[in-house]
Structure 1
Amino acid sequence: MSEISGGSFIARGLLKFGVLFRCFFSERGKDVPFIIENKTFSTEQHEVAVQWNRTFFFSGKNRFFDAVMIHDEKEKRILDYFGKPHLLLSVLSFEAEQNGALKITSGQQWFLIFGKKIPIPKWLRGKSTVYESYHDENACFTIEVNVENDILGTLFYYKGSFQEAGTVE
C-alpha cells in the first residue's frame, strides 16, 4: 500500500481492538507491503462466498484484515462479514463508474455478538467507500479505501496497487 493513514487518537485506540478479530488495526505507514488472498467456497446454506484475507507487513509485526462476502440470494444483496470470528456485518452496494472502476459502498451494519445480530445506529457506523480498478497500461489492480464515521471523522484510509500472483492451492 502506498499509504495507510487516518484516524484520530480515539479512533486508532478503538481500532486496536480489531486486532483480536483480524479485522482492524491502528498502525499507519507508507509503502507497506501486503498480500491479498481470495478463495471462493460454498457456505453450509449453499451460498456462494468469497473469503478475503489481507496481510499487511509493518516493520516488526503483521496485521490482518479478513472478511467473507456472501451473496444473499433471498434479499438480493452482498453481505460482508468482517473478522475471525465474525465481529461485524455490513451490506455492500456495487456500481460501475464511468472510468471503469468498481465503487463499493457500505450500508446497514450489525455487530455479531454471541450469535446475535445487533443493529448499529447510523451515527456509529463506519461508512466505507472503496474504488477498485484494473489498469492495462501498468498490468495492475488499484484500490482506494476510505472509512469515515459521523462523530470520529476518518477512521482509516488506504490506497495502493498490486498484481495478480497466481493461484495458491
Structure 2
Amino acid sequence: MTIYQTLLGEDFKNLHPKLQQRYALPVGQAFYAKGVMRTIESGAKWMRPFYMVATKFKFLFPESGKNIPFTIRNTCHRLPTGEMEVLWERTFYFSKKTRHFDARMTVDPVHNIVKDYLGSPALFYSDLLFSVTRQGKLIIRSGTQRFVMSKIQWAIPKMLEGRVIVEEGYDEDRDVFTIHVYIHNPLLGRLMMYAGEFTQQSF
C-alpha cells in the first residue's frame, strides 16, 4: 500500500478507477504522462525576481501561456527510514524556456496529512489535505507551510502562505486525465494557475 492509499483509506476506492490506478504507484514503478496545459498564468510582473530565484530550485516560474506541452513523472521509492516517498517531476515546454516544478511527498498517518517538500532542493514545505468528491475526483488543499533552507525551517505567517487547491479528475469521453491547480496568497493574489489534460505513456 502506497502513501495515497494509506492516507485516504477506504475513500481511495471512491476515486475514479483511472485515478486509483494512477495513485497506486507501486514502489519502483513510475507513472509517466504527456499532455497540454491549456492555460498557465503566473503572478504579477513585479514578482519576477522571486520567480527567477524559484526557477533555480525547480519550483515556480514567471512564464504564462496557452497550450503549453508538459510531462509529469511520479516515482515511489523507499527511504532509508522505511518511509515511502513519491517524487513529482513536472516539466513545462514553453517556446523559449523549459521550466520544472518538482516536489517530494511522504505521508504522516498520525495527523492524516501528506508532507510536501517543494523544489529541488526543497525551498518550501506544506501540509497537504486530500479528499475525494462524489464524482470520484481528487481534491488537494494546502495547510501549514514552512520556508526551508537545508535542515533549517521557519514557519510562514498565514498572510504570506501560498494557498493551494488542486482538482484532478478523469474525462471518460476524451479518455484523458484533467488537472486544475490554483496557488494564491491573501495579499499578493495569484501566484500560479494552470489547467490542462494528460494521458499516460508507456516506457
Q: Which bin holds the TM-score, normalised by the shorter protein?
A: over 0.9
1:105-116 alignment runs, 5 A limit: 105-116=141-152
- How big is the shift at 1:74? 4.2
- How big is the shift at 1:48? 1.2
Residues of 1 paired with 2:102 and 2:42: CA distance? 20
1:124 aligns with 2:160: yes
1:133 aligns with 2:169: yes
Q: Which runs of 4+ in 1 moved over 4 A?
A: none
1:144 aligns with 2:180: yes
Percentage of pairs with the same residue? 37
Report the counterpart of residue 55 of structure 2 in structure 1.
19
Q: Greater RCO between the two (CA within 8 Å, min separation 6)?
A: 2
Note if contact 1:12-1:155 (Cα within 8 Å) is conserved in structure 2.
Answer: no
Structure 1, unaligned stretches of length 5 or more?
Answer: none
Report the counterpart of residue 50 of structure 1 in structure 2.
86
Residues of 1 paired with 2:85 and 2:174: CA distance? 29
1:52-108 Cα offsets, whole Å, 9 max, x none, are 100000112200000011112343320111111111110000111222211100010
Structure 2, unaligned stretches of length 5 or more?
Answer: 1-36
Residues of 1 paired with 2:108 and 2:121: CA distance? 20
- How big is the shift at 1:155? 0.8
- How big is the shift at 1:7? 1.2
Residues of 2 paired with 1:10 and 1:44: CA distance? 42
Aligned partner (choices 22, 25, 38) of residue 2 of structure 1: 38
Secondary structure of 2:200's match?
Answer: coil
Instruction: Tell me the amino acid that sits aligned with residue 131 of structure 1.
Output: E
Note if contact 1:47-1:72 (Cα within 8 Å) is conserved in structure 2.
Answer: no
Secondary structure of 1:2's match?
Answer: strand
Number of matched pairs: 167
Residues of 1 paired with 2:83 and 2:189: CA distance? 35
Secondary structure of 1:129's match?
Answer: strand
Secondary structure of 1:23's match?
Answer: coil
- How big is the shift at 1:142? 0.4
Note if contact 1:146-1:156 (Cα within 8 Å) is conserved in structure 2.
Answer: yes
Secondary structure of 1:38's match?
Answer: strand
CA RMSD of aligned residues (A): 1.2
Report the counterpart of residue 75 of structure 1 in structure 2.
111
Range moving further from structure 2, 12-21 or 135-144: 12-21
Note if contact 1:111-1:120 (Cα within 8 Å) is conserved in structure 2.
Answer: yes
Larger helix percent? 2
Residues of 2 paired with 1:39 and 1:91: CA distance? 20
Which TM-score applies when normalising by structure 1?
0.94
Residues of 2 paired with 1:86 and 1:73: CA distance? 22
Residues of 1 paired with 2:97 and 2:42: CA distance? 19
Note if contact 2:42-2:63 (Cα within 8 Å) is conserved in structure 1.
Answer: no
